[in-house]
Amino acid sequence: MGIIGAGPAGLLLSRLLQLHGVDTVVLESRSRDYVEARVRAGILEQHTVQTLRDVGVGERLDREGLPHDGIYLQHPGTRHHLNFEELCGRKVWVYGQTEVVKDLITAQLDDGPPLLFGVSHVTPEDVDGGAPRIRFTDADGVAQVLECDVVAGTDGFHGVSRPLVTAGTSGRLWERTYPFAWLGILADVAPSADELVYAWHPEGFALLSMRSPSVSRLYVQVDPAEKIEDWSDDRIWDALSTRLAVDGWSLRTGPVTEKSILPMRSFVSAPMRRGRLFLAGDAAHIVPPTGAKGLNLAVADVTLLAQALVRLLTEKQTDLVDTYSDKALARVWRCTHFSWWMTSMLHRHGDDFDAELQLSQLRRVCSSEAAARELAENYTGLAVDL
Ligand code: RFL
Ligand code: PHB
């Protein structure tokens, strides 16, 4: 198996296949330091946590990860706790994507198959036949050819795999660009709440999240055209304090160690397969982060894909690879809807009519057990095979 990309999708796929006796080689264009430092997701669904434990990389997660029973949903005057454990019997974990990636890289470099960083000119070839190959240049500048049975495109949104699938199939793309972005910070300060706070505010959405008992992760909605240089730390803390305000509570501030602006989009590309090239994770789909779904969706994709590939490569049966794309896409669209719904409900856009609709929806989720359960089931993660 040739696996392009050492993000969570590629690394976990390699680990799952290795445990079933399938040889893999993972090719990553960036350096190990770069991949391990990229600040991204922070919330793991129960299924994701169980999968990481099952493949033997759950030890540090169980020690350092923070299990959360629910989240707070807020609109001016009200901070309402949704208890996922009570609503659907599941919870989520706070454990950074950077930590997941570090754990998977350590495991792979310890006892796993080859993982090559710093490769370039990665080019899959002959994916329509039975014996594809990947040409690439290794970190020493030497041209290499990897002969393989199957290629996995887990190379993220800007990778080389998706364009190849699109070019060779009668596929489709769907895209929605949202008229707002998130300005995110990491700060060396203890989180000001015990669980995440998602806040609707007339001046825009804000999210209080965390990475550990001493590191906070916070976001504010901004215009996509905003420049990070125009946002001093004081201005960011002021916006967060205003939007997250609730009586009897105050936001703790501290040194900001990272800040960036992230555009928000939904994107789905179908099918997730061309011949012997299979897409998984951000290579095939992007969701806006409001539902905390991207990383978890990548994990769900590779769980399905690993089962299908083990069946193909060890039992020579094509049934599961033939249904992989449709099965994965059913879940992708569910998560795409949930992420769009959370995004639409919580971000300030449109006019006062839109604002009243959003507030009505928020009040409904905070007062109806059925409405709250629908959010809880989606947030904590639906079955991998819907
Ligand atoms: P990745 O992580 O982008 O990894 C792809 C890897 O492929 C490499 N690559 C190549 N390698 C070789 N040859 C090429 N030609 C290559 N082109 C690219 C890249 O260097 C990279 O290492 O995709 P993957 O593995 O599919 O993982 C997806 C997740 O990273 C992503 O969905 C999440 O981070 C999304 N996300 C969140 N997801 C959650 O589940 N919960 C969250 O709380 C959450 N919060 C977030 C997020 C994403 C965010 N950003 C920055 C978009 C918060 C943010 C701010
Ligand atoms: C994060 O901690 O980075 C985070 C948490 C929840 C989200 C998005 C991002 O919905």
pLDDT of residue 27: 98
Determine the Cα–Cα distance for residues 8 and 16; give it in Å rounded to an integer: 12
**Pocket around ligand 1 at a 6 A CB cut-off:** 4-10, 27-30, 35, 40-43, 97, 122, 154-156, 158-160, 184, 262, 281-282, 289, 292-296, 298
**Is residue 362 included in any domain, yes or no?**
no
What would the mean pLDDT of 312-340 be, rounded to a whole number? 97
Gap from CA of 19 to ligand 2 centroid (Å): 30
CA nearest 321: which of 157, 203, 149?
Answer: 149
Tell me what percent of the residues of the chain surpass a pLDDT of 70.
100
Determine the Cα–Cα distance for residues 8 and 67; give it in Å rounded to an integer: 20
Sequence letter at residue 333: W
First to last CA, the chain: 27
Residue 34 annotated as catalytic: no
Tokens of 329: 């896409």
CA distances, 293 to each of 283, 318, 337, 340 (Å):
15, 29, 11, 11
Q: Note the pLDDT tens digit of each residue in 100-149.
A: 999 999 999 998 899 999 999 999 999 999 999 999 999 999 999 999 99
Position 213 confidence tier, pLDDT thresholds 50, 70, 90: very high
Atom of ligand 1 nearest to the CA of 297: 40
CATH number at residue 152: 3.50.50.60
What would the mean pLDDT of 240-266 be, rounded to a whole number? 97
Position 41 confidence tier, pLDDT thresholds 50, 70, 90: confident
**Is residue 203 included in any domain, yes or no?**
no
Residue 81 annotated as catalytic: no
pLDDT of residue 316: 96
pLDDT of residue 187: 98
- Write down the catalytic residue from 8, 285, 289, 324: 289
Nearest CA to ligand 1 atom 51: 40
pTM of the predicted model as reported, rounded to 2 decimal places: 0.96
Nearest CA to ligand 1 atom 29: 295
Residues in the chain: 386
Q: What is the DSSP string of 242-276?
A: HHH--TT-------EEEEEEEEEEEEEEE-SEETT
Asked if the model's pLDDT at residue 324 lies above 90, the reply is yes
Determine the Cα–Cα distance for residues 52 and 382; give it in Å rounded to an integer: 17
Q: What angle do CA 311, 312, 315 make, to 5 degrees?
A: 60
Asked if the model's pLDDT at residue 165 lies above 90, the reply is yes
pLDDT of residue 18: 96
Mean model confidence pLDDT for the chain: 97
Determine the Cα–Cα distance for residues 325 and 228; give it in Å rounded to an integer: 39
Q: Note the pLDDT tens digit of each residue in 168-196.
A: 888 999 999 999 999 999 999 999 999 99
pLDDT of residue 112: 87
pLDDT of residue 385: 82
Q: Note the pLDDT tens digit of each residue in 351-378.
A: 999 999 999 999 999 999 999 999 999 9
**Is residue 15 included in any domain, yes or no?**
yes
Mapping DSSP to helix (H, G, I), strand (E, B) and coil, where does residue 292 land? Answer: coil
**Is residue 358 included in any domain, yes or no?**
no
Position 223 confidence tier, pLDDT thresholds 50, 70, 90: very high
CA distances, 328 to each of 85, 172, 287, 322 (Å):
26, 15, 15, 11
Tell me what percent of the residues of the chain surpass a pLDDT of 90.
96
CA nearest 11: which of 23, 34, 27?
Answer: 27
Position 386 confidence tier, pLDDT thresholds 50, 70, 90: confident
pLDDT of residue 111: 83
Nearest CA to ligand 2 atom 7: 292
Indicate if ligand 2 lies below 6 Å from the C-beta of 293.
no
What would the mean pLDDT of 25-46 be, rounded to a whole number? 95
CA distances, 184 to each of 147, 191, 221, 358 (Å):
42, 15, 9, 23
Q: Which helix (H) or strand (E) holds 110?
A: helix 97-111
Atom of ligand 2 nearest to the CA of 291: 10
Determine the Cα–Cα distance for residues 103 and 125; give it in Å rounded to an integer: 31
Asked if the model's pLDDT at residue 39 lies above 90, the reply is no
Domain span at residue 280? 2-67+94-175+264-348
Q: Give the chain's domain count.
A: 1
